[in-house]
Structure 1
Amino acid sequence: MYERDASPAPPPPPGAPVHAYTHYEVVAINLTIEGGRYRAVAMAHHDQPDGRRAYQLCLWPALPDGRRTGWYWWNPDVMTRRDLR
């Protein structure tokens, strides 16, 4: 893992509250994964009791293994976010 990489997060546990975004709620996030720069749109988020938020992101371009989505912990030190809602 590179120093400026976003940290992967686990998906929410079954029954946990998840906020799913509609196509009218655009939250764009720029991040680095495995040293590569990605643009992403948040598809959903879930909050942990300790205050951390994990976003399910749709990534562009796809990761080298072909995946286009994943859960990542929000971290303002390694991510930038534009909330266009």
Structure 2
Amino acid sequence: MLQCTVKFCGGCNPRYDRGEAYRTIREALSGTASFSLPEDGVHYDVLVILRGCTGCEYLYEDIDADIRLVSVSAEDVHSVIREIQTLEKHKKD
């Protein structure tokens, strides 16, 4: 199971419900990945960054993660889910 963490950036787009996006991602990946809030000194397989816009380039480099996936709209949620499923599949191989 992949160890994942999430960061919520900004909130400058009130039309994108980032909380709902996070719930959708967690539920879809319940048997594939575990999610927690980031902690200092912990290594994660994946950091999911839920942004409200495309203007911010900050990738939270202070969080130790192999992969960073960025979602800036509700349309990105399913691609984040697919990418994490693919990563887990390759980890098992």
TM-score by length of 1: 0.30
Decide which structure has greater strand share: 1
Decide which structure has greater helix share: 2
